[in-house]
Chains A and B, each alone.
Chain A
Amino acid sequence: MADNTNSKEINSFQKRKNKIEMQKQLITFALMILFTIIAFVIVATGTMEKMFLIPVILVLAVIQVAFQFYYFMHMKDKGHETPALMIYGGIWAAILTIVGLMLLVWW
């Protein structure tokens, strides 16, 4: 089991790295809030054609979710290859499921 040698206390290099990471996460958060507001506003004001509106808010949602996964949940970091693989597997099955249920239920 990994016994640690160098970590009687958190060293300052590590602390700095954590801080930079945190700043990135803050920026991500700001963007997420922004996207949310955009999505709500375009729906509330009804300024956009429905044909465009739905893809736009879906794309906004997908970007937000990518932020959550990659920044908040660290999927961009090392050691997350298998988690990423499994999440993409899940998304693959999820897309098939949703497309199937949307298109092949009423006719």
Chain B
Amino acid sequence: MKGWMGKFKGLFLLGSLALVLSACGQENLTALEPKGYGAEKALDLIILTTVVMLFVLVIVMLIYTAVLLRYRKKKGQENYIPKQVEGNKALETIWTVIPIILLIIIAVPTVTATFDLADETGASDHLNIQVTGNQYWWHFNYEGQEIQTSQDLYIPAGEKVYLNMKSSDVIHSFWVPSISGKMDVNPENENTMFIEAYEEGVYWGKCAELCGPSHSLMDFKVVVVSQEEFDQWVEDMKNVDPKAQPQDAVAQEGQALFQENNCMGCHAIGSSPAAVGPNLTNFGSRSKIAGILEPTKENLVRWIMDPEEIKPGNKMTGNYPDVSEEEADKIAEYLLQLEPSEITPEDAGK
């Protein structure tokens, strides 16, 4: 009866293999289809270690199955007493030495890759971005460029970009699985990592260190565009006029309401570094509202009316006067037309 225990495991493995082959998860989110340097390095190691591990597992399972098939107590031999073996030097040496060799096989590339990814020597020749983790949103400050954005991180494809990361409150962790592994965002020490995305696209980023009730909603996007598009985006962002009047009347009313309710106390439009709340300069081009909602007006109104319902524990709730649905609607109208650049996530391919 127990023979099929081993087979059962085998089935499991087969099944899961099928699963890997058929679905690696959502494109631009999964770590199994790397689109960047760090993720590629990681996947190489994942594959290498998996292969080594499967090799060991197969050996263990072979012995295991053999044992269970051959050495079950036999009928009619209930009183049989096996030989009491103490040990076997040769065997024991073998199963000490072989694992050591296998470990060396995985340790060497591990160490090499670790130093490779930690290399910061070229940082000053590249784009440097200051990343700030906040309870439950991300802020990006393009160093030396006077550009501030939140939630959507624009970077050029095929370029190393250095991220200097620090938290303003608790520990967060910056993770864009398909581009690179994660790096913690600590409150006292600045961490530096580089990312390099190979292809244009909008990639999902997630916070990977428990940071409070809305930890699971602290998503962000990395928008990878071509170098030319990126340059244009930079140009556009630099020339933003934070005071610019919107065209249509509703939005103008919205802008007035935005001022009246002192939204600017926390948020900024333009390159001012005020960072209690996300920077809204290019809010209209954001791929999501609050990192998670589809960028529709209804959703924005919902957010403005009651952010708590969407992101529990967020720092916006209760910090501004109540607004009526009508007012929220106008503010939303204003915010959604904040599109200083033609370069939007839609330009990032797909």
Contacts and interface: CB of A to CB of B under 8 A. Distances in A.
Within the complex, are A and B direct neighbours (CB within 8 Å)? yes
B189 to A, nearest CB: 5
Chain A residues touching B, range: under 10
Nearest to B188: A106
Interface in A60-107: 106-107
Nearest to B189: A107
A107 B188 CA distance: 9
B316 to A, nearest CB: 33
Q: How large is the interface on B (under 10, 10 to 19, 20 to 34, 35 or more residues)?
A: under 10
A106 B186 CA distance: 11
Interface in B154-198: 188-189
A106 B188 CA distance: 8
Contacts of A107: 189
Q: Chain B contact residues: over half helix, strand or loop, or mixed?
A: loop
Nearest to B191: A107
A57 B189 CA distance: 31
B203 to A, nearest CB: 28
Nearest to A107: B189
Nearest to A106: B189
A100 to B, nearest CB: 15
B119 to A, nearest CB: 15
Contacts of B189: 106-107
B164 to A, nearest CB: 13
Contacts of B188: 106
A106 to B, nearest CB: 6
Interface in B138-161: none
A28 B189 CA distance: 46
A42 B119 CA distance: 43
Contacts of A106: 188-189
Nearest to B186: A107
B13 to A, nearest CB: 38
A24 to B, nearest CB: 46
B305 to A, nearest CB: 44
A106 B189 CA distance: 7
A107 B189 CA distance: 6
A11 B47 CA distance: 75
B207 to A, nearest CB: 22
A1 to B, nearest CB: 37
A99 to B, nearest CB: 18
A72 B76 CA distance: 67
A70 B188 CA distance: 43
Nearest to B190: A107
A28 B108 CA distance: 50
B123 to A, nearest CB: 15
Interface in A21-64: none
B320 to A, nearest CB: 38
A107 B184 CA distance: 14
B46 to A, nearest CB: 26
B91 to A, nearest CB: 31
B120 to A, nearest CB: 12
A107 B166 CA distance: 13
3 A-B pairs with the lowest CB-CB distances in the bound complex, closest first: A107-B189, A106-B189, A106-B188
Interface of B: 188-189
3 contacts: A106-B188, A106-B189, A107-B189
